[in-house]
């Protein structure tokens, strides 16, 4: 379905995305040089016109009345002035735009006219959309992104935006919400999640900033023409406006060329990944067919759509002069035929359909391992790397359906989601529960009535281990609605809860780590620089994580823990040759573990792949893995921004 250069390995895709960032920088530099050359020529032309104007209008010889034939078109001083001014101007405009978008995917969605879908909505169509996004998030092992609808757009389209999995947003048009069936919607959302998991979103945000910087010249020219009347005194300025507008078209052409160069190849990979996620190529193919049969197609009417056309699921606007050459997406028919070879080119009419809320029963869900490998055999360590960033939707559907409806209802409001997180951190001891409840009453996030809170604690205590992490992932979008003060207060509250009994357990640490990473993190860097690129720079931190994983997975058995630690270290020859010290302990230094994870998160994805592989071999050292070990491995992977889907045979 894709060419040989494309890969479905998560870590290779991330490195490919970073190489594309460098490629984007070269394309940007080339476009800026073209614009500088055009501006320089325009500047010299204005000087020439001004010279001619002075000769004609001023009687008698003057200092400026040199013959036009002696005019020098090449002037190094003028070129240096134009070069420095234009380059600085474009660079500043791009950086300002990128800084605006650094707040996350929600900012991009709102820029394009999106309205956030509240988690507690009762609208059937919106509820179905949230349900599909939640299933995909659980299946991917990532926090549920914010969901938006472009209510003014009747074309069938969608996009994902953000700098990472912690600030992502998914948006679809009203036309897609009204006209797509659940299977079709699932295919489109899976396509957008593949962009999220492939590392495309950061590149897309950078591209929006770059396109804006390139277009700013034309925007200024348009403003001059719109607000300036022609007169003998303003003729030069008016001509300057015309020239800047023409140069703006050069910028538009260069911007669309960059968008098409970066975007087309990624769309084929996203289609292929979506099919791998859903195991339903006809669902995605049917959505593409409806674009062809819809009177609005995939068109986006927002004025800001051009600078973000590479984000969308389908072609959001068509260039008038070069529709095929500057297309940001592959031809629609070609995309469909790769998914459905029997397609004859006839598009069905796209009609509004009533939303169907469908969620499979837990006992009817298809096994995740059956879907991935075609057999019920349990996974082995070497398989884990292939699981990272490759969800199976049926697993997410089954887990979501298995959660009690009362708990899911609470997750749809900020206070309810905060209460669920607090209940997850509450021990089985009733005395401690009541003490913590009274402590929570002094927080800004109210836990409700005491009996209701204790009942919720009992419900959560009865959940299986594999259902706890999905609860945290589902709670995060609602928690994102808390004000800055409420977030700070909530983080202090859960910190107080975790330390209430004088000790921190591993499950408590995992919940606290994810919530703090999601709510307590500052805006991510738009460039995502890699700080550590050599294993020797993070070797000590890798030993800390492997030691913790080995001890946690073999509690009470020091020999088995040592064997697990050695199995993990053996996967990294550069570190194994140093004969690292090992000691068994059940008292973990969680501050040290948190610091180690934070440092490793700043490493290259090549190093992260080595770390995840070593951790998986550490966990599988005894040739079996419990759900508790699997969930711990998933939390560690999520902390490194390498989402690992649920993979244990049972949950």
Q: Is residue 592 part of a domain?
A: yes
Which of 551 and 371 is assigned the larger pLDDT? 551
Is pLDDT at 364 greater than 50 in this prediction? no
Q: Which of 119, 192, 267, 524 is catalytic?
A: 192
Confidence tier at 538 by pLDDT (50, 70, 90)? very high
The answer to whether 137 and 396 have CB atoms below 8 angstroms apart is yes
Query: Is residue 473 annotated as part of the catalytic site, yes or no?
Result: no
- Are 499 and 632 members of one domain? no
- Are 579 and 436 members of one domain? no
Span 145-153, mean pLDDT?
A: 95
Confidence tier at 58 by pLDDT (50, 70, 90)? very low
- Are 21 and 147 members of one domain? yes
Which of 634 and 357 is assigned the larger pLDDT? 634
- Are 245 and 173 members of one domain? yes
DSSP 60: S
User: How, if at all, do strands 158-161 and 146-150 pair?
Assistant: unpaired
| Domain around 635 | 535-639
Q: Is residue 61 part of a domain?
A: yes
What is the pTM (predicted TM-score) of this model?
Answer: 0.83
Q: What share of the chain is helix, strand, coil (3-state, %, to 5)?
A: 65, 5, 35
Q: Render pLDDT for 213-259 as a digit per residue (tens, 0 to 9).
A: 877 777 777 666 666 555 555 566 676 677 777 777 777 777 777 77
Which of 231 and 405 is assigned the larger pLDDT? 405
- Are 278 and 390 members of one domain? no
Asked which of 305-319, 333-347, 397-411, 633-647 is least confident by mean pLDDT, the reply is 305-319
Span 340-365, mean pLDDT?
A: 66
Residue 591 buriedness (CB in 10 A; 0-12 / 13-18 / 19+): exposed
Span 282-301, mean pLDDT?
A: 92
**Averaged confidence pLDDT in the chain:** 81
Beta sheet of 115-116, edge-to-edge order: 115-116, 146-150, 169-173, 158-161
Distances, alpha carbon 387 to alpha carbons 380, 403, 523, 612, 628, in Å? 11, 23, 28, 11, 18
Asked which of 51-65, 413-427, 456-470 is least confident by mean pLDDT, the reply is 51-65
Number of domains in the chain: 3
The answer to whether 474 and 416 have CB atoms below 8 angstroms apart is no
Please give the pLDDT value at position 361.
40
Confidence tier at 96 by pLDDT (50, 70, 90)? confident
Which of 245 and 333 is assigned the larger pLDDT? 333
- Are 206 and 84 members of one domain? yes
Please give the pLDDT value at position 445.
59
- Are 146 and 245 members of one domain? yes
Please give the pLDDT value at position 476.
92
Q: Is residue 550 part of a domain?
A: yes
Is pLDDT at 162 greater than 50 in this prediction? yes
Please give the pLDDT value at position 60.
46
Is pLDDT at 537 greater than 90 in this prediction? yes
């Amino acid at each position: 379905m894709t060419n040989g250069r494309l890969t479905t390995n998560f870590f290779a895709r991330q490195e490919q995305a970073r190489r594309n960032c460098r490629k984007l920088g070269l394309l940007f530099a080339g476009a800026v040089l073209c614009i500088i050359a055009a501006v320089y020529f325009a500047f010299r032309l204005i000087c020439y016109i001004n010279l001619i104007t002075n000769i004609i209008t001023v009687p008698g010889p003057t200092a400026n009345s040199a013959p036009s034939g002696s005019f020098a078109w090449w002037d190094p001083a003028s070129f240096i002035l134009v070069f420095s001014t234009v380059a600085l101007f474009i660079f500043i405009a791009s950086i300002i735009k990128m800084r605006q978008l650094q707040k996350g995917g929600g900012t991009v969605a709102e820029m394009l006219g999106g309205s956030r879908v509240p988690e507690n909505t009762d609208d059937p169509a919106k509820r179905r959309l949230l349900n599909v996004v939640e299933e995909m998030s659980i299946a991917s092992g990532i926090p549920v992104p914010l969901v938006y609808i472009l209510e003014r757009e009747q074309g069938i389209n969608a996009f994902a935006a953000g700098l990472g999995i912690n600030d992502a947003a998914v948006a679809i048009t009203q036309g897609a919400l009204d006209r797509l069936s659940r299977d079709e919607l699932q295919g489109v959302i899976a396509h957008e999640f593949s962009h999220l998991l492939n590392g495309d979103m950061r590149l897309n945000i950078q591209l929006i900033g770059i396109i804006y910087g390139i277009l700013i010249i034309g925007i200024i020219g348009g403003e001059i023409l719109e607000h300036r009347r022609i007169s003998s005194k303003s003729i030069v300025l008016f001509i300057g406006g015309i020239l800047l507008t023409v140069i703006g078209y050069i910028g538009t052409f260069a911007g669309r060329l960059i968008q098409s160069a970066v975007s087309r190849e990624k769309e084929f990979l996203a289609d292929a990944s979506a099919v791998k996620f859903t195991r339903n190529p006809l669902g995605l193919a049917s959505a593409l067919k409806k674009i062809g049969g819809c009177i609005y197609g995939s068109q986006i009417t927002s004025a800001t759509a051009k600078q973000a056309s590479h984000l969308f699921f389908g072609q959001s606007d068509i260039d008038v002069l070069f529709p095929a050459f500057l297309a940001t997406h592959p031809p629609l028919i070609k995309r469909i035929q790769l998914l459905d070879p029997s397609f004859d080119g006839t598009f069905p009419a796209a009609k509004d359909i009533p939303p169907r809320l469908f969620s499979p029963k837990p006992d009817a869900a298809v096994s995740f391992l059956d879907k991935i490998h075609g057999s019920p055999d349990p996974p082995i360590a070497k398989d884990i790397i292939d699981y990272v960033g490759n969800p199976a939707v049926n697993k997410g559907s089954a887990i979501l359906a298995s959660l009690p409806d009362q708990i899911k209802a609470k997750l749809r409001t900020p206070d309810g989601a905060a209460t669920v997180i607090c209940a997850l951190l509450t021990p089985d001891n009733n005395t401690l529960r009541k003490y913590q409840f009274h402590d929570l009453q002094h927080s800004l996030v109210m836990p409700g009535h005491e009996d209701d809170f204790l009942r919720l604690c009992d419900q959560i205590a009865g959940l299986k281990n594999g259902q706890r992490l999905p609860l945290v992932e589902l709670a995060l979008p609602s928690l994102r609605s808390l004000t800055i003060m409420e977030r700070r207060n909530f983080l202090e509250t859960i910190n107080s809860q975790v330390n209430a009994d004088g000790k921190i357990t591993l499950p408590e640490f995992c919940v606290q780590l994810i919530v703090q990473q999601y709510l307590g993190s500052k805006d991510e860097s738009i460039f995502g620089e890699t700080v550590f690129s050599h294993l020797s720079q993070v070797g000590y931190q890798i030993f800390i994580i492997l030691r913790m994983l080995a001890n946690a997975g073999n509690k009470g058995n020091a020999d088995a823990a040592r064997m697990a630690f050695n199995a993990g270290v053996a996967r990294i020859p550069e570190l194994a040759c140093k004969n690292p010290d090992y000691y068994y302990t059940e008292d973990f230094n969680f501050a040290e573990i948190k610091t180690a994870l934070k440092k490793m998160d700043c490493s290259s994805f090549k190093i992260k792949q080595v770390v995840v592989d070593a951790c998986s071999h550490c966990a599988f050292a005894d040739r079996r893995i419990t759900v508790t070990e699997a969930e711990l491995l998933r939390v560690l992977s999520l902390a490194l921004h390498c989402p690992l889907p649920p993979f244990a045979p049972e949950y």
